[in-house]
Amino acid sequence: MSDAPPTLPETALDRLLELTLTVQDDMTSGLSALGLTESRTHLLWVIAAGGPQTQQALAATLGVSPRNVTGLVDGLVAGGFVTREPHPTDRRATLVTPTPHGAEVIAGLVAGRRTLADQLFGDHPAAELERLVGDLAALTARLRRLVEEASP
């Protein structure tokens, strides 16, 4: 097929996409060993950060439909990671609450995150790391702006 040599910006984008895929792989492979999937882990992580929440709140935070949260919570309940507790004041709602086992797994995830971060970035000089953080943040912000402009 017609092969123009990739420009430098194209190379950068390709590397970025490659890294994206690799990060994805790394996450999922580590998670499946714990009996977790990526989506369910994301939900568990949100609960870890924000405490027991209604499924509506989780849906808003995760950016998915409330119906989908029902399914994700079903899976986490089946795995013994969380329970559905009655909401103290609203009988329509349930509070998705980590079990002791779920809390253990969350602690493991937090520790794993730190370990991975150290393995990846631990030996970088602080100045260089801050520059990288700034680069990544700037890229993210720019991408978000592009997405919003495309679909207003």
44 touching DNA, by CB under 7 A: no
Q: Which is nearer to its own copies, 22 or 56 (CB)?
A: 22
In this chain, which of 5, 7, 88, 89 binds its own copies, going by CB under 8 A?
7
Contact residues for 14 (Cβ-Cβ < 8 A; gap 6+): 6
The residue among 105, 117, 114, 118 whose CA lies nearest residue 33 is 105
Identify the sign of the CA torsion 107, 110, 114, 120. positive
142 touching its own copies, by CB under 8 A: yes
The residue among 21, 40, 29 whose CA lies nearest residue 105 is 40
Site for its own copies in 14-53 (CB under 8 A): 15-20, 22-26, 29-30, 48-49, 51
Site for DNA in 82-111 (CB under 7 A): 84, 87, 89-94
Question: What b/e sequence results for 69-89 when a residue is b if at least 16 CB atoms lie within 10 Å of its CB, and e otherwise?
Answer: beebbebbeebebbbbeeeee
Q: Among DNA, its own copies, none, what binds residue 111 when CB lies within 5 to 8 Å by partner kind? A: none
Q: How far is the CB of 47 from its own copies (least distance, A)?
A: 9
> Which residue ranges make up the site for DNA (CB under 7 A)?
37-40, 54-56, 63-73, 75, 84, 87, 89-94
